[in-house]
Structure 1
Amino acid sequence: MTSTLPRKRLRNRILTGKRLLSLVETMATPHELDRYLELVNPMASVRDLRAEVTDVVRQTNDTVTLTLRPTWQWEGFAAGQFVQIGVVIDGVRHTRCYSPACSEYRTDGHIELTIKAHPEGLVSQYLHANAKPGLVVSLSQAGGVFRLPADRPKNVLLVSGGSGITPVLSMLRTLVDEGYPGAITFLHYADKQADVPYHAELATIAAANDNVSLVLAYTADEQGADLVGFFGTEHLEAAAPWHRDAHTYLCGPPGLMKGVQTVYAELGLAEQLFTEEFAAPIAVGDADATGTIAFAASGVTADNKGNSLLEQAEAAGLTPEFGCRMGICFSCTAVKTSGCTKNLKTGETDSDPDQPIQLCISAAVGDVTLDI
């Protein structure tokens, strides 16, 4: 009885607090309370999760590392997961997905993101050029299934390329913080040493932990490389001869992803390989596409060009919400009211009406109507 009463009182207080919040927000109509609070302090938030940039470092010519202080709603993350951050550019909010690079055990509760400025990346280019301490961005809770299992594997091979380094670096930092006893190899691919973010820290981690090996593979320069060229069986054997007794976690550009997946399939080790894609493995445009796409809620129609429905909506002047553009975050989900669509990642088709689909990885097969 004594243990039940405090829980009842706590529930009653929470319910009372929610009722008061609802009352205040009703009085604040037509806008939510957070819209008023952010005019005074962008980090003052009742419901919205936000983060303030507290530190900015540009480690390489095309990357920017941001340290973020989330608001009180932040629930933490598991190494390997991603978050969505949103910034306002020319009056329009844009969101993108990035994976924290820090350990999930980071004690100050801050998040570290390293973002590669892609040539056509609106948000990444903006942050690389303009991010500075004090910038406030919107933030989502962490998501994604690319993560270490609760029962840690015997050994771990981490393979990355380019900006795919961030989720596997988070795994490395997390395992080191845990005092993980198994063998760890961190195998990273880049053109040359100058393109490797966290180069000095990776070397320090490897030097300080007998079970950690750092292997750097360069594809355009031999200087400072442990391996030269692209992933293959030889690289796998050299980097982690114990790979059959390990789980492998992979994140990188499409060429690296395909190369590793092919080798693992040939070796019969596909079930020991876990991947996170950060570039959409799809082609755009189809000269043989037919039909018309109707964006019913907007009263807009467009000829089907065969590329993703998200791209076609944008080409038609619409601005549907989206995040990763890779089919991971589900931000761009919309209802297809009629017609047939094809999943550009799996090739599967769906002709059922009133189905939620992901615009970024779906294409129209003939006439399609969307509720956007």
Structure 2
Amino acid sequence: MLSQQTIDIIKSTVPVLEAKGTDITKHFYKRLFDHHPELLNIFNHANQAQGRQQTALANTLYAAAQYVDQLEVLVPAVTQISHKHRSLGVKKEHYPIVGHHLLASMEEVLGDSATEEIIGAWGEAYHVISQIFIDVEDGMYQHSEGQPGGWKGFKPFTIVRKVEESALITSFYLKPKEGMKLPAFSSGQYVTIQVKPEEDKYTSNRQYSLSDASGKDYLRISVKKEDKGKVSNYLHNHANIGDEISLSAPAGNFVLNTDSASPVVLLSGGVGITPLMSMFNDMAENNHTREVTFVHACKNEQVHAFKKDAIASIEAMPNATLKVKYEETEGLLTKEDLEGIITKDADFYICGPMLFMKAVISGLVELGVEEEKIHFEFFGPALSFDQVNELTSV
């Protein structure tokens, strides 16, 4: 536990972190990689280049300072971030390294404002918070490795099938290279893939949602080809049937509640359809009498992935409805559209671009849907506290 003096000092730094947080985290990552370039094998280079990782960490530091006397408030975000860490292979021995360079960055960026008292308090707080992460992640590693078919770290898989789902999205069917049984996973989870193009010095890791239900002899990821996406372009253009690719075990806490019989509304935008297809296929195969409404929004029919598969599953389910909205011809999804699909006691699962999710979540809240019934996933660095508040506020 932290002393009241430490808590007071940390809270006094909230205005500084609000103003200088991103400067600190930009300096931190540069410093970290200058001293430990081997960690570039873990971090997402694209998120670094775009500044997304720096912003996410700055928001997390800001929230940690705000809630340092109520650490239980941080538990949902700790769980989400820890899933990503476990999936990427972050180890407990990485935390002292990160802590050292984070405190040094605070000193170097803030200068005389970073008094010995402030750095000491943050060092104490970092130790407590990092231990929470280490303990949570240790449990996740044990679960991942201990379940039937589970494994730790990265394991070689073979691409056994490659299918174009739309003009932008291609599915990759992956089987363990040694032919071992696959672990069960929860619909909505993701895996981290690890590739190393010949021209690259470091491996690149990317997290992709599993887009089919559990219980198959393969894992399926469905990847959108991004204009400047190094890994997505590598997969689309160079990864072929028979090639090897490394995967970490499934992770993530954006999952379908299979113990509930409540109605389900799935709302996806663009490539956000991938985890929801896993949920939808799960219900189609294992709980097909559940009332389901699947709403998908995308630019046009050419980029609409899984259209035939979704229609086939809908026809096999007695209480399922599919609604599609193409932006080019019908406009964006509106609050009026949402009002037409509100189902009493339903759980809402949402995934898509940030603007899509903000519009959908805000619309649902305005229409009276309770926040605990709204579940969402954001593709990118673990969602910051500020972003969660932004998405769930009207």
TM-score normalised to the size of structure 2? 0.56
Q: Is residue 60 of structure 1 aligned with residue 160 of structure 2?
A: no
Q: Which residue of 2 aligns with 1:104?
A: 214
Pick aligned residue for 2:244 from 136, 153, 157 = 136
Q: CA deviation at 1:212?
A: 1.2
CA distance in 2, matches of 1:63, 1:150: 27
Match of 2:373 among 241, 263, 272: 272
Q: Deviation string for 1:181-218 (max 9, x for gaps)?
A: 22101100011111111111111111222211110011
Q: What residue in structure 2 maps to residue 284 of structure 1?
A: none
Instruction: Give the structure 2 partner of residue 365 of structure 1.
Output: none
User: Equivalents in 2 of 1:49, 1:170: separation in Å?
Assistant: 22
- Give the Å deviation of 1:231: 2.2
Higher Rg of the two aligned structures:
1
In the superposition, the TM-score normalised over structure 1's length comes to 0.59
Structure 2 counterpart SS, 1:49: strand
Change (3 A) 1:147 1:47: closer
Cα RMSD between the aligned structures?
A: 2.3
1:266 and 1:241 map into 2 onto residues whose CA distance is 12
The answer as to whether partners of 1:76 and 1:141 remain within 8 angstroms in 2 is: no
Q: Check 1:229–1:204 CA distance in 2 against 1; reply closer, same or farther (3 A cut).
A: same
Letter in 2 for 1:232: T
Q: Which runs of 5+ in 1 are unaligned?
A: 1-44, 222-227, 281-325, 329-341, 348-372
Structure 1 residues 100, 205: closer, same or farther in 2, change over 3 A?
same
1:231 aligned onto 2:333: yes
* Count of matched residue pairs: 234
Q: Which has the higher contact order (CA 8 A, sep 6+)?
A: 2
Structure 1 segment 219-368 matched on structure 2, within 5 A: 219-221=327-329, 228-238=330-340, 240-242=341-343, 244-269=344-369, 270-278=371-379, 280=380, 326-327=381-382, 345=387
Runs of 4+ in 1 over 6 A off after TM superposition: none
What is the one-letter code of the residue matched to 2:173? Answer: T
Identity within the alignment, %: 28
Write the distance in 2 (CA, Å) between the matches of 1:277 and 1:99: 11
SS in 1 for 2:256: coil
How far the C-alpha of 1:267 sits from its partner, in A, is 2.6
Written as runs of structure 1 = structure 2, the 5 A alignment for 1:59-78 is: 59-71=165-177, 72=180, 74-78=182-186
CA drift at 1:70: 2.2
1:46 deviates by: 10
- Structure 2 unaligned blocks of 5 or more: 1-150, 390-394
Aligned partners of 1:81 and 1:99 also within 8 Å:
yes
Distance 1:154 1:344, change over 3 A: closer
Superimposed CA distance per residue, residues 281-339 of structure 1 (whole angstroms, 9 cap, x where no aligned partner) = xxxxxxxxxxxxxxxxxxxxxxxxxxxxxxxxxxxxxxxxxxxxx127xxxxxxxxxxx
SS of 2:203 mapped into structure 1: strand
Q: Report which of the two has the higher share of helix.
A: 2
Give distance in 2, aligned partners of 1:274 and 1:116: 23
Q: Which has the higher strand share?
A: 1
